[in-house]
Structure 1
Amino acid sequence: EKQERLRSEVRSVLPEKLGDFTPNVLDNIPYLRACIKESLRIYPVSVGNMRVPQNDLILSGYRVPKGTWVSMISSTLQSDERFFLRPLEYLPERWLRTDETISEEGVRSLKPSNPFVYLPFGFGPRICLGRRIIDLEVGLAMARLVRNFKIEFNYPTDKPFKGMLINMPNIPLKFKLTDIE
């Protein structure tokens, strides 16, 4: 259902199978961006972020001396019902500004309860330098794949990744791609 909705959106900007992308094409397919964000929420690339503060600071009432390693294990936060309603469901609609298939109140309730719970590329001055390139490359690749293929994964997905510094595949990732016109 989600893939068909995404394919319909992509075809509106890329009607021909081998058509060229125009500048700013990703601005016109918000559901694609929502699908990518939701995928990164459910299966984040890394388990979290680590920082070493250069000055003493207070976090949630605790004094953290400068030079102390501070970790935020966001992968656990992103599957916590306190921060995301229905956290184990793949619901790209939670990232859309409005969605006609869910009432505005319903979409608002799906959004994260805190904007700092979801930070796949970090935040502030230490944000990932490659974020814009990654957004562009992943967006264009996914648009082309979804436009041209029906994508299936017909295997059990129990514990598909193992957590290391970054999440690594724990099972063979055998996708079935069926050509579509």
Structure 2
Amino acid sequence: MGSLKEPPRLAGGSFAAWSRDRLTTARRGAAECGDVWQLEPGVYVAATAGACEDVLHRARDFPKASSPLFPPLRPASRAPTSEERARAHAARMRGLRPQAVVARTGEIAAGTARLAERWPTDRDVEVLPLVRHTLAEVGVRYLFSEDAPALLPFAAQLFLARELLALPSRWVWPSWIPTPARRFRTRQQVAFTDALRPVVRRRRSPGPLGDDMLGQMLQPSPRHGPLPEQAVLDTLPGITVATFEAPSRAAGWILLHLARYPEAADRVAAEAALLPADPAATTGEHLENLRYTRALVREVLRLHPPSWLLTRQAGHRTELAGYGIDAGSTVLVCPYTAHRDAREHPDPDRFRPERWLDDAGSDDAGSDDAGSSAGPGAFLSFGTGPHGCEGAALAMETLTLLTAGTARRLHLSEPSGPEAAYRVTTFVGLATAGLRLRATSRPGAVPHALR
């Protein structure tokens, strides 16, 4: 392995060029250098589908850095052991497994339908705050059911703390320095935990634990008994924000595509018209019939993955795509360019939801490329391997129902005029900051409140 050469260095590549335009630099690196390329000494980019999947599956060779967004608070009593933290993670995953998500489809559909109900029509509206509030309600209710309204304001403050921590800075401060943003995060984390603690204690008193994710975490293990309170509390701030942060970024791109591709939006609306009049009556069987809607969501996530760049470190000297990677090197995994790998996705820059349908060729009958799709390729919007997104099933169902419910009720369009309606941001994730769209009522759509 010592004889393996380094990945090629991108001509003119540097952190300065990267900071100016990350997406353009990433695409140029993939086009000019191939599977893996070097940005600066000790910093490499896995650019194509095969290289990205290799890194994400080899967790021992390329471990994920241990830097949680909300580090465990220092409890007054004993801190949870590593085994208790692992048990808390396993319990949390039970509440996020696909079967658990499908069982609550009606609740999720009712929550996502509120976006169209709240959207002011016939004027330009900034989309992301409206989307984020709706998805925060859906996510927090999924976690905490009837206790969600009391916890939602604290979840909003956790999100604000996340945003402040993500602001670009000229300096990278060591994790132990209590910067103002970190102090604010700690205050909001303490406030959220203090609000959640009485909920946990009340549910553990005689009575039902609940069938939400918190209830799953409070179920005693036959072998170990109940989880310690602090192990439950430590694991929830991060997952609370995660239920709506990345999905809100994804929803911005999806709504933009509904505005730009009205024929696709009409096809989604036609599928959605077959859903129950009352969104709360929606079931997993109804969801299975939203085939084109789900394909559209996947296609938007392929083109604009909200987590477009993932960071790993080489735990030891190893090999990647035929190149030598030194121990301690940073490897940036780039789903954004992997999804534009023409070997995986023919005509990769084209928005074509049909590529995700089983009968992709027949859906394009009459077009000049009918039958050209080679079938679904790599899809890394939720990661893959041991550290794939825990909430992938919840995110995909939520986005599918949000897309269907919005297209069923509304026609979307971009504002007219020479100025761009949004700006692309890449520092935390790929987002449509400042996105403004106009909604008009779709003919024949009856407001849910009048049904």
Shorter chain as denominator, the TM-score bin is 0.7 to 0.9
Query: In the alignment, residue 430 of structure 2 is paired with which amino acid?
Result: N
Q: Does 2:302 align with 1:41? A: yes
* 1:94 paired residue number: 355
1:45-64 → structure 2 map (5 Å cutoff): 45-54=306-315, 56-64=317-325
Q: TM-score, normalised by structure 2?
A: 0.35
* 1:125 paired residue number: 386
Query: In the alignment, residue 313 of structure 2 is paired with which amino acid?
Result: V
Q: How many equivalent pairs are there?
A: 175
Q: Distance in 2 between matches of 1:165 and 1:151?
A: 27
Deviation (angstroms), 1:160: 3.9
Deviation (angstroms), 1:147: 1.5
* 1:167 paired residue number: 430
Post-superposition Cα deviations, 1:10-60, rounded to whole Å, max 9, x if no partner, equal: 222x15375631234322211111111111122221232222244543211
Q: Does 2:400 align with 1:139? A: yes
Query: In the alignment, residue 106 of structure 1 is paired with which amino acid?
Result: G
The one of 352, 355, 371 equivalent to 1:106 is 371
Post-superposition Cα deviations, 1:102-152, rounded to whole Å, max 9, x if no partner, equal: 25972534743xx2xx30111011001121121122122222111111222
Q: TM-score, normalised by structure 1?
A: 0.79
Q: 1:128 to 1:60 in 2, by over 3 A?
A: same
Which ranges of structure 2 fall in alignment gaps of 5 or more residues? 1-262, 446-451
Q: Distance in 2 between matches of 1:105 and 1:168?
A: 32
Are 1:48 and 1:71, in contact at CA under 8 Å, matched by a contact in 2? Answer: yes
* 2:16 paired residue number: none
Q: 1:81 to 1:124 in 2, by over 3 A?
A: closer
Q: 1:175 to 1:159 in 2, by over 3 A?
A: closer
Are 2:314 and 2:328, in contact at CA under 8 Å, matched by a contact in 1? Answer: yes
What's the % identity of the aligned pairs?
25
Higher strand share: 1
Q: Distance in 1 between matches of 2:300 and 2:376?
A: 14
Are 1:150 and 1:179, in contact at CA under 8 Å, matched by a contact in 2? Answer: yes
The one of 284, 300, 304 equivalent to 1:23 is 284
| Structure 1 outlier segments of 4+, above 6 Å | none
Q: Does 2:337 align with 1:76? A: yes
Which ranges of structure 1 fall in alignment gaps of 5 or more residues? none
Q: Distance in 2 between matches of 1:91 and 1:158?
A: 23
The 3-state SS of whatever aligns with 1:106 is coil
Q: Distance in 1 between matches of 2:342 and 2:291?
A: 25
Query: In the alignment, residue 101 of structure 1 is paired with which amino acid?
Result: D
Are 2:311 and 2:330, in contact at CA under 8 Å, matched by a contact in 1? Answer: yes
* 2:272 paired residue number: 10
Are 2:310 and 2:332, in contact at CA under 8 Å, matched by a contact in 1? Answer: yes
Higher RCO (CA-CA < 8 Å; seq separation 6+)? 2
Q: 1:157 to 1:88 in 2, by over 3 A?
A: farther
Q: Distance in 2 between matches of 1:18 and 1:179?
A: 18
The one of 154, 176, 181 equivalent to 2:438 is 176
* 1:151 paired residue number: 412
Q: Distance in 1 between matches of 2:397 and 2:383?
A: 17
